[in-house]
Amino acid sequence: MLSSLSCSSAQPSCVLLYGGRQALMPLYWLCYRHNNQISVVIEPAHSLIYARLRSSIDKLDEGEFTEGHELDRKWQVPKARIGRLSQEEAKRLLAKLR
């Protein structure tokens, strides 16, 4: 059972704790289009399809899925950026990651 989620600035991937054991998980950048707006979701998962499933379970997948990408493991994403981002947050994070 999932007991904790943490992303530190020193750790580019998320560290998920399962019963006290750590497992590194890649992060996925998911894009959805709804009412001519783009929404971005960042989800930790083992694969793109699992990231989309987690997004759906968490009710973050509003609109039509347009694209998804695994984030480069060298990129450092703060814990606060996991989940749905506003367009401004997504633009700022993308500018920092490039």
User: pLDDT tens per residue, the chain (98 residues)?
Assistant: 333 333 443 444 554 444 444 457 889 999 999 888 888 999 999 999 999 999 999 999 889 999 999 988 777 777 777 888 888 888 887 777 66
CA atoms of 5 and 24, how far apart (whole Å)? 10
- State how far the alpha carbon of 47 is from the alpha carbons of 12, 53, 78, 92, in Å: 16, 10, 20, 25
The contacts of residue 85 (CB under 8 Å, 6+ apart) are 39, 40, 41, 42, 93
What pLDDT is recorded for position 98?
Answer: 64
What pLDDT is recorded for position 55?
Answer: 94
Beta strands across the sheet bearing 27-34:
64-70, 27-34, 37-44, 83-85
C-alpha 89 chain-centroid distance:
13
Question: How many other CB atoms are found less than 10 A from the CB of residue 88?
Answer: 8
What pLDDT is recorded for position 76?
Answer: 73
